[in-house]
Structure 1
Amino acid sequence: MMKHSPIVVALSAATLGLATGAAQGAGFQLLEQNASGLGNAYAGSAAVAENASTIYFNPAGMAYLSGLSVSGGVTAIKPSFKFKDDGNSTRPLAAPGALGGNGGDAGKWGVVPNAYLAWQIDNRWNVGVGLGAPFGLMTHYQGDWVGQYHSRKFEIQTINVNPSVSYKVNEQWALGVGVNYQRIDAEYTRTAVVAPGLSREATVKMDGDAWGWNAGVMFQPTPATRIGLSYRSKVKHDVDGHTDLAGIGSFDAQASVDLPDSAILSAYHQLNSRWELLGDVSWTGWSSIPELKINNTGIPGDTLHLDFRDTWRVALGANYKVNEAWKLKFGVAWDQSPVHEAADRPTSLPDNDRWWFSTGVQFQAGKNTTVDVGYTYLYLDKTRINNTGESLAQKGRVSGEYTSNGNIFGVQVSSRF
């Protein structure tokens, strides 16, 4: 296991401790890598380059920042996942007791922090580093619910440290590249049938770290128009830990997961002195996770079938400059879910396609300092689940419907020195 500096360990602990319960991009991707883009539903994210958080969305954007730029913020997320049984759910054949209830609201509050620093070395070169949590999820049901043999609690937390560099080729073109150190912590709890008529709580806890990379290009054909293209690589995690069976013992556990790659094509255009227009199309390679297989030593393993598909996201936004101090932000987005069949929809991630409706305000607090406040409401249609794709004998059947939505609040402070 590699050793890390006390600073990295401290920052990792802080971010992992906060980035809990959140899952607001489709799947368990967290788009909330700044709050300044929240009011636009992250439209134009790879082209705006208005502060140092461009390091995450497109490192080439650092070429448009002068001096020393810092940006930091926090986003609070409240998802809601409420299940209603349709009468067709069943327990495993050998499970004791009654069927159970609906599990309450499985969505919990989460807080996602971010921090960035970018430094202009000369007229062509910029360097920087970013800290954020690109993936996160927690669903937590009341204990004795109908789907407890599938999941009672499922939690993923990540921390991503992203050193980056940009090069300004000329007045029209800029390039950027970064490396990513990523740490992941995961916990999965469900009720398991260990013998006919005997159930025990099983909890898996695992962690690990891995490396990835990102790159981007920025094209500015006119002073009023900017186009950005960026890519983030897959990150392959080999994680290990232990599975605890209540009253029985602890067993070594291991799993591997390829967190998906993604690409963003964005545009920004200053229409006039008041209006700015933004848009983007993004792709995420969720098919890298067909299943999550947990291998245990001494007891049978566990498999969570997912059959994820690759997804698309489309976002449009606009900014209106009221005066020198105030700017209003608006945005809307359609975000496709990697889960596309009711039979493959896990109780740990009852996901569906969603619409983002966003607004925000930016205040010029000083000559070189801005404060952004943003809000997004997430709308999801009723979501069907019918776990016939899982092992009915071992986990039973969960059949019914989820009512889901989300609320996101964010604050970002950005300064230039």
Structure 2
Amino acid sequence: MKKIIVLSTLAGSLLLGGAYKLPEQSLNSMALGAAYVAHTTEADTAYFNPANMAFMGDKQYIDGAVTLIRLPSNVYTLIDPYSGESKTENIVVPTIHYVAAPAGDFRWGVSIAVPGGLTKRWDSAYQKLYAEEFTLKNVEVNPVVSYKINEKFAVGGGVRLVYSEGVVKSDGRETTPYPIAREMEGNTIEFGYNLAVTYRPTDDISMAVTYRSNIDLNEEGEANLYFGGVGEQYDAEVSVPLPAALNIAVSKTWNNRFTLEFVYERTYWSAYKSLDFNYDQDILNPVLEEAFNTPIPKNWKDTNTFRVGATIEMDKITMMMGFAIDETPVPEETLGFELPDSDAKVFSMGFRYQQTESLSWGAAFLYDSKESRSITPGVNSNEVLANGGSFHEGGAYLTTIGVSYEY
């Protein structure tokens, strides 16, 4: 019998692949499609490039935003009864950032962000065998400091504290000769770090490099395995990497009004080689043992993302727009229903209105357009996807409203 890849949903969404990665963590970054590393101006600087805190004004800054994420259905097409359609999801994500006033050449800040996690659910029989439901809450607290070496050069960095919890369900009772199912709830707290450096050769050019470390998310929880109507509870754990990411960015400003920024992002997904679950006791049922306790190869690849953002500053209104080309890390051989990912193009735009000298507010919209993806018959190890077929639609629509205050 083919392996029943239930908690690969955990890894897929927890790892925040191209489809579920959420680099946009503020109004500005959403409007610019995350082309917001070298030229950062608000309190969200603490998250996107803490080195730039050293060049901000002698004030305190605070920034808050709320994002509504709409995930349209993914449609898988083969032949009946294998075709299916996932549910549409609507998720609300809040973020907040703060930068303190400088203390000499030092400065500190903190961000509370949601770098990914989202939800994927299928009702169709063959799809819910692998991903009936996955719901993940993922929160990062990121305190940072910066140091101004001189008027052109600054460094920064901080500690990443990531908390995640999730619910995973899979149901094979309609489609397998053995009535099996699994449910799991788990959580973890893990630590990492981030580093940043900015060089400003002139007042209108900024060059920056940022790095966010790999974090191994060692999820621990309870797993209920069912054979027929009989269930057995286990303590279970699985480790998956939240991969490292390197950003290299440069921005140029003309007449203090128009700024263009280019960002190259390298995400080190190759750390995700396999998915291996461990239980606190032996699984005596041989069907459940084969289905749920065999390491699953993933063999993801490192990816490149190319971003460009433009900012136009007028008297009281700042207009922003962005575009990105984003690669998927998921090879055809290990593509699954829990993460039907593909290459994407990202389009974004937004504005900020300066209400008073201290208060500004605005809105942004981002569209993540996923390419359709066909599966070559005989390539994928999934017993359904081995027959071929294709994924359509999906993608994401993100709408953000945000407020900034400085004092």
Q: State the TM bucket, normalised to the shorter chain.
A: 0.7 to 0.9
Task: Provide the TM-score with structure 2 as the length reference.
Answer: 0.86
> For 2:232, which of 249, 270, 284 is the aligned residue?
249
The aligned residue for residue 399 of structure 2 is 409
Query: For the structure 1 residues 86 and 218, does the alpha-carbon distance in structure 2 shift closer, same or farther, using more than 3 Å as the test?
Result: same
Is the contact between residue 17 and residue 341 of structure 2 (CA under 8 Å) also seen in structure 1? no
Q: 1:75 deviation in Å? A: 1.3
Q: How many residues align?
A: 380
Match runs of 1:192-341 below 5 Å = 192=172, 197-246=177-226, 247=229, 248-296=231-279, 297-299=281-283, 300=289, 301=293, 303-321=295-313, 323-341=314-332
Is the contact between residue 24 and residue 79 of structure 1 (CA under 8 Å) also seen in structure 2? no
Letter in 1 for 2:48: F
> For 1:49, which of 40, 46, 56 is the aligned residue?
40
> For 2:132, which of 152, 160, 163 is the aligned residue?
152
Query: For the structure 1 residues 115 and 221, does the alpha-carbon distance in structure 2 shift closer, same or farther, using more than 3 Å as the test?
Result: same
Letter in 2 for 1:189: K
Query: For the structure 1 residues 333 and 366, does the alpha-carbon distance in structure 2 shift closer, same or farther, using more than 3 Å as the test?
Result: same
> For 2:52, which of 61, 64, 69 is the aligned residue?
61
The aligned residue for residue 357 of structure 1 is 347
Aligned: 1:185 with 2:165: yes
Q: How many Å separate the matches in 1 of 2:30 and 2:176?
A: 51
> For 1:174, which of 154, 169, 173 is the aligned residue?
154
Q: How many Å separate the matches in 1 of 2:136 and 2:341?
A: 15
Q: 1:122 deviation in Å? A: 2.5
The aligned residue for residue 120 of structure 1 is 101
Q: How many Å separate the matches in 2 of 1:24 and 1:171?
A: 37
The aligned residue for residue 68 of structure 2 is 76
Unaligned runs of 5+ in 1: 1-20, 88-98
Aligned: 1:132 with 2:101: no
Q: How many Å separate the matches in 1 of 2:319 and 2:51?
A: 26
Letter in 2 for 1:179: V
Larger mean CA deviation between 361-370 and 151-160 belongs to 151-160
Unaligned runs of 5+ in 2: 1-12, 284-288
Aligned: 1:35 with 2:27: yes
Larger mean CA deviation between 397-406 and 286-295 belongs to 397-406
Larger mean CA deviation between 217-226 and 155-164 belongs to 155-164
Q: 1:387 deviation in Å? A: 7.9
Is the contact between residue 152 and residue 201 of structure 2 (CA under 8 Å) also seen in structure 1? yes
Is the contact between residue 201 and residue 245 of structure 1 (CA under 8 Å) also seen in structure 2? yes
Is the contact between residue 81 and residue 402 of structure 1 (CA under 8 Å) also seen in structure 2? no
Residues 150-176 of structure 1, C-alpha deviation per residue, up to 9 Å, x if partnerless? 221233331111111100111100110
Q: 1:286 deviation in Å? A: 0.8
Is the contact between residue 22 and residue 77 of structure 1 (CA under 8 Å) also seen in structure 2? no
Letter in 1 for 2:23: L
Larger mean CA deviation between 289-298 and 254-263 belongs to 289-298
Q: 1:107 deviation in Å? A: 4.3
Q: 1:193 deviation in Å? A: 6.6
Q: 1:46 deviation in Å? A: 1.6
The aligned residue for residue 390 of structure 1 is 381
Q: How many Å separate the matches in 2 of 1:304 and 1:338?
A: 16
Q: How many Å separate the matches in 2 of 1:83 and 1:391?
A: 17
Larger mean CA deviation between 397-406 and 194-203 belongs to 194-203
Query: For the structure 1 residues 249 and 22, does the alpha-carbon distance in structure 2 shift closer, same or farther, using more than 3 Å as the test?
Result: closer
> For 2:366, which of 371, 376, 386 is the aligned residue?
376
Q: How many Å separate the matches in 2 of 1:218 and 1:316?
A: 18
Letter in 2 for 1:162: N
Is the contact between residue 147 and residue 398 of structure 1 (CA under 8 Å) also seen in structure 2? no
Is the contact between residue 129 and residue 175 of structure 2 (CA under 8 Å) also seen in structure 1? no
Q: 1:186 deviation in Å? A: 3.0
Q: How many Å separate the matches in 2 of 1:314 and 1:55?
A: 22
Larger mean CA deviation between 48-57 and 25-34 belongs to 25-34
- RMSD over aligned Cα, in angstroms? 2.5
